[in-house]
């Protein structure tokens, strides 16, 4: 059995501030990297105990060079580095039995979600009129390849958002948001323990978890929260400008939709 882990940092134990995850050389970043590695390791250990034979981890946060590799067992491989064409789902195909979304966070502009954003904090995305975040898009991408999302971890608001679109996915709450940069946090070792227990349960009931299904053509709406982005987004081919500053894209697959999401994100990132 092969598992795929998309590992992000905003939703891990204790992280509440951009200073902890922005990738510099600070003690805060190092502390977060250590806990990040501990949590991914706990998921790997639990999954292997429950029968996983191969695990691919996508170091998904920022520049993609956060995990401390030599701490992992030999069944594990890590996709790392930046500017990957299909950032969230490189090498994810139907040979995988399940997807794990670790350290996930709420959608752009979620009230009280810790460090909420959907690739960019300045863009909101909707599919068929429903707000979607990174975890929704990743679960739908995996679903298109018939891979179920078996577990998600993050703050309580993330798990609450995920429960609507991914009702049979097991959720692990790592902290309770008390603001966009504040939370009541579980002990880091307690989070690792919970992750290990829940992934064992998830792997054992993997056949009962349905992959989310979506039928193309898929309508994606992009809503910029900053009017300065409106000109830039109109550069993308097949993206139609709507009255009021929103944009519509009709995709033939989730992969096409995800590519437009990444393109829009890159165009809206300062410095590009
Ligand atoms: Zn991140």
In order along its 272 residues, the chain shows pLDDT tens digits of: 999 999 999 999 999 999 999 988 899 999 999 999 999 999 999 999 999 999 999 999 999 999 999 999 998 999 999 877 766 688 999 999 999 999 999 999 999 999 999 999 999 999 999 999 999 999 999 999 999 999 999 999 999 999 999 999 999 999 999 999 999 999 999 999 999 999 999 999 999 999 999 999 999 999 999 988 888 899 899 999 999 889 999 999 999 999 999 999 988 887 65
196 Cα: distance to centroid of ligand 1 (angstroms): 21
134 annotated ligand-binding residue: yes
| pLDDT of res. 87 | 65
Check whether 10 is labelled as a binding-site residue: yes
Q: Coil, helix or strand for 239?
A: coil
CA of 232 to the centre of ligand 1 (A): 23
DSSP string, 38-49: HHHHHHHHHHHH
CA of 8 to the centre of ligand 1 (A): 5
Among residues 50, 79, 60, 187, the alpha carbon closest in space to that of 134 is found at 60
Q: Give the Å distance between the CA of 125 and the centre of ligand 1.
A: 17
Q: What is the pLDDT of residue 120?
A: 93
Domains in the chain: boundaries: 2-208, 218-267
**Residue 6: closest CA among 135, 110, 95, 93:** 135
User: Does 22 belong to an annotated binding site?
Assistant: no
What is the spatial distance between Cα 134 and Cα 125, in angstroms, rounded to a whole number? 10
- 8 annotated as a binding-site residue: yes
Q: What is the pLDDT of residue 271?
A: 65
Distance separating alpha carbons of residues 59 and 74, to the nearest angstrom: 17
Q: Is 206 helix (H, G, I), strand (E, B) or coil?
A: helix
136 has binding-site annotation: no
Catalytic residue list contains 117: yes
Instruction: Tell me what pLDDT residue 89 has.
Output: 80
- Decide if domain 2-208 falls under CATH 3.40.50.11310: no
From 63, 117, 187, 272, active-site residue: 117
The DSSP H or E segment spanning 250 is strand 247-251
What pTM was computed for the model?
A: 0.96
CA of 62 to the centre of ligand 1 (A): 6
């Amino acid at each position: 059995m092969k598992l795929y882990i998309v590992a992000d940092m905003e939703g891990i134990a204790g992280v509440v501030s951009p200073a902890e995850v922005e990738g510099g050389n600070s003690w805060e970043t190092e502390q977060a990297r250590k806990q990040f590695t501990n949590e991914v390791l706990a998921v790997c250990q639990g999954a292997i105990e429950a029968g996983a034979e191969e695990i691919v981890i996508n170091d998904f946060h920022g520049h993609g060079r956060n995990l401390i590799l030599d701490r992992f067992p030999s069944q594990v491989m890590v996709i790392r580095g930046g500017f990957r064409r299909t950032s969230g789902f490189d090498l994810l195909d139907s040979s995988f039995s399940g997807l794990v979304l670790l350290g996930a966070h709420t959608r752009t502009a979620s009230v009280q979600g810790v460090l909420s954003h959907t690739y960019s904090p300045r863009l909101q995305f909707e599919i068929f009129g429903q707000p979607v975040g990174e975890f929704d898009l990743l679960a739908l991408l995996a679903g298109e390849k018939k891979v179920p999302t078996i577990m998600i971890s993050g703050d309580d608001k993330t798990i609450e958002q995920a429960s609507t679109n991914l009702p049979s996915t097991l959720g692990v709450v790592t902290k309770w948001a008390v603001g966009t940069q504040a939370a009541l946090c579980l002990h880091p070792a307690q989070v690792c323990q919970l992750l290990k227990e829940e992934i064992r349960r998830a792997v054992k009931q993997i056949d009962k978890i349905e992959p989310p299904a979506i039928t193309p053509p898929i309508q994606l709406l992009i809503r910029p929260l900053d009017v300065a982005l409106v000109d830039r987004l109109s550069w993308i081919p097949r993206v139609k400008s709507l009255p009021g500053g929103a944009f519509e894209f009709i995709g033939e697959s989730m992969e096409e939709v995800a590519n437009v999401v990444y393109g829009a994100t890159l165009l809206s990132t300062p410095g590009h």
